[in-house]
Chains A and B, each alone.
Chain A
């Protein structure tokens, strides 16, 4: 599903570039889960952004379903994000002017595979059935994160990338949200790669990789 080979990325930092990722190699098969842990600044989010096609690598390559991201232009990378990859952001990134129901259906509609029954089931499972007509600002943080997860899964992506999806939530709410996400990801058969700096949450994944100064330490 996902193959990352010798991935390199630097950011400009004054006089010379500061390397953030130094030759990352990893793979993730369909229906499998992977936790990416590491200290702040270790490069976890950068790696996730590169895999999501939100940023471009300086070296190495990323293959998703056999397609090389480096060979794609902006339009093709956008199409990849619409149809194949789903990202759950730490800051939710919901569309404030759309209702809960519209937010959940949104990415699936962008991908052209909106399934109302599936949306309804997801909404029910996420405990949002009584909130469908509300706007994001009327929800709590935990509820907003559930909407974000629902939006990603409604589009049935093959690969779910979650960037500290419980980072803004308290411990109990975080646990509940993660349980739900794991259940639903398993149900859709997607692969899940989750960035977290919580070892407790990482332990819930099938595989764990630790990132340190831009390199993988198993």
Chain B
């Protein structure tokens, strides 16, 4: 019985292979887009985990100097003698001619083995050659390869070490980082002895900081991955529209078969079981295909994602994918779940199928206006919900919930909007043919609504994300021009060289602008503090968002500081507010935009910086030069001081690099956008093709009344273009709203800055043209079919032999 039933059900697909291909492609594409994004996220997170297992991310309390400067090694000795269980740590970026690595210096004698990364735990790597000069750098194989030829201690490559990370013995690290007798921090171990003297007594001036909550990198990149996940979900949802359409059509066409099977003795339970088994097989096949396709997408996109994460957050991600069982399982799981979601309504209908209902396919086109009205009510409720979340919700998740509700609401409202637009269009009809055209187009809407909803979502996402990226690009480029006003940026190797440089440069430039820098903690989070000179370069160019009058005078006098937008938003600061910096309290004189930087940043006057941070490095300068002199001066600097090339950066290449990071940041979203639009185009194609057969009863009478097949075909094409155009018009406000949410809510939550919104009508026109092209191409085959259908086929409609 089961075999016979299954054969009857599956034979449908054998006779309609295109429908099967549609279903499998839809599901595979949906799974691919979802699992591709998941693969990227999983790979990036695995890299963070490996990085987090480095000591820098170990959740242990730390003892540091309050202003972020290195502390003296004597403090370590003093604390150990006083009974404190601490272990010394060196952390920093080690620059070489072969690129830079994050160097972690450890003391294997005092560091508990459990604090070592898995790759080093219980390993014999930490032997004599690690401890004694010239020492050893333990890195990942990829990093070891990259550092080949660099003038560094011998490398030992071990699997499982985070990319871009190198471990060395504390003494070797001190040599490499030029930190003799100094340390970055002391890690406080567990099980401290009771009765030990307090820290202030043993090492006055040092502070004990609680362990960081979660790794900085994962905290910073969470929003980026959430963005990717949201895109993956959107693409998956668009793909599901195809699946829903294909399953719905297949179930609809098989209604008479279901009824016959029931009449011939197949119980509802068995029938549903067989249908579920059939869907499960499809989900597994399409899921496997989708995972393979997702793998391909992820492999293609991962290098860009890795570059973005490196550029924006300094997070290293390996450029190759690793096969993870969890990822495979989640891909198959999402395919099965998606199929079930897409099929629920159809299965429910089968379960409630009255045995004696009319056996003719109901043809979706007959969906009642009542259903449409009900859908519109749900849509309006979702939109009201979205507005509510926008007004009262908070956080990144709240932002995405708002986006989701808005998009789904808009998609559900589309059939009603099209219906109304077509009714209005019908009023313009002056001929019987035009009357028929409008009426027939209206009748097509329910059948095409799923595909048109997919198109609306894809177009809205394109407009929204496109507007965001273009607004970002415009703002970012302008901002770069303001921020990178100096023609040349120079870094010296030490303070003696810095002094010599300053003296040598003074007569050869318009201005030498010192850029002193210190790291510290502001309001419990890491921050950078810059000391800047009082100079028209800053006064004229700095991208100030809000400020007190005479802001630069205040900064120069030490009566105020400037804070970046992210810090201002995080701490709810306005110009005039008081703010605590390490060691003193001051006033916020102004707020400036600081795109592309995830951390808090503060600008203080040069004199104030000198007073407050006497220990900080004073190595960097911005040079103002007459136009066209940058190259010559750069060459002279190399010749005179033997500065390595990476110590001299000209404004143009810095801008180019920044823009490159920016462009790569949005390569992934751009690619997902294009894929989503392609999927939507495919949804229209499949819907039109599958509906083409059901259209014969509508088309045949008009043909019989005297319209040629060629003209009918042209009208078919026109209908698809009209519906696509109306959908594009409906997508525009949705897309702009999406852009606003992305810029004003999501970006602020994710990155801490708000961007002004710019509109780009030329982009919309291009997108509209693309939508028409997609719909036109999709309608071409069904139109051609009508143009070439044999009259005998059309006559069958009247002979009741179909």
Contact = CB atoms under 8 A, between A and B. Distances in A.
Contacts of A110: 1, 4-5, 264-266
B356 A54 contact: yes
A9 to B, nearest CB: 12
Interface stretch (A13-21, A73-81, A122-130): A73-81
A12 interface: no
A106 B264 contact: yes
Given A96-B257, A109-B4, A89 B263 contact: yes
Given A74-B267, A96-B15, A111-B265, A91 B359 contact: yes
A146 interface: no
A95 B263 contact: no
Given A78-B266, A79-B265, A93 B8 contact: no
B800 to A, nearest CB: 9
Interface in A83-137: 83, 87, 89, 91, 93-98, 102, 106-107, 109-112, 135, 137
B8 A106 contact: yes
A82 interface: yes
B355 A55 contact: yes
B356 A55 contact: yes
Given A49-B356, A135-B15, A112 B1 contact: yes
B265 A80 contact: yes
Nearest to A73: B267
Contact of A98 (B3, B11, B268): B11
A60 interface: no
A106 B4 contact: yes
A102 B3 CA distance: 12
Most chain B CB inside 10 Å of its own CB: which residue of A52, A96, A112: A96
Interface string B261-279: 1111111111000000000
A82 B271 CA distance: 14
Contacts of A111: 1, 265
A91 B360 CA distance: 10
A97 B15 contact: yes
Nearest to A86: B264
Most chain B CB inside 10 Å of its own CB: which residue of A75, A83, A91, A110: A110
Nearest to B5: A110
Given A87-B263, A89-B263, A110-B266, A95 B11 contact: yes
B255 to A, nearest CB: 12
Contacts of B270: 78
Contacts of A151: 264
A173 to B, nearest CB: 14
Contacts of B801: 141
B12 interface: yes
B192 interface: no
Nearest to B12: A97
Interface in A43-65: 49, 52, 54-55
Interface string B1-29: 10111011001101110000000000000
A97 B8 contact: yes
Most chain A CB inside 10 Å of its own CB: which residue of B11, B16, B264, B270: B264
Interface string B237-281: 000000000000000000011011111111111100000000000
Contacts of A107: 264-265
Chain B's interface size range is 20 to 34
Contacts of A80: 265
Contacts of B261: 95
A72 B256 CA distance: 25
The majority secondary structure among interface residues of chain B is: helix
Most chain A CB inside 10 Å of its own CB: which residue of B260, B267, B801: B260
Contacts of B266: 78, 82, 110
Interface residues of A, number: 32
Interface in B779-802: 801-802
B423 to A, nearest CB: 32
Given A97-B15, A110-B5, A74 B263 contact: no
A94 B261 CA distance: 10
A195 B632 CA distance: 105
A54 B359 CA distance: 14
A78 B265 contact: yes
A137 B800 CA distance: 11
Interface in B748-794: none
A213 to B, nearest CB: 21
Contact of B256 (A79, A83, A93): A93
Interface string B341-360: 00000000000000110010
A82 to B, nearest CB: 3
Given A109-B1, A141-B801, A81 B11 contact: no
A186 to B, nearest CB: 23
A111 B8 CA distance: 14
B265 A75 contact: no
A132 to B, nearest CB: 15
A162 B728 CA distance: 54
Contact of B260 (A55, A78, A82, A93): A93
A71 B563 CA distance: 82
A53 B260 CA distance: 13
B11 A97 contact: yes
Nearest to B14: A97
Interface string B527-560: 0000000000000000000000000000000000
Nearest to A112: B1
Nearest to B358: A91
Nearest to B354: A55
B15 A52 contact: no
A105 to B, nearest CB: 8
13 contacts: A78-B262, A78-B270, A79-B267, A81-B264, A93-B259, A93-B263, A94-B260, A96-B15, A97-B16, A97-B257, A106-B8, A107-B265, A135-B15
Given A95-B261, A112-B1, 11 more contacts: A81-B263, A82-B1, A82-B265, A93-B259, A95-B8, A97-B11, A98-B11, A102-B11, A107-B265, A111-B265, A141-B801
Interface of B: 1, 3-5, 7-8, 11-12, 14-16, 256-257, 259-270, 355-356, 359, 801-802
The 6 closest A-B pairs by CB, nearest first: A82-B265, A109-B4, A97-B11, A78-B267, A81-B265, A97-B15
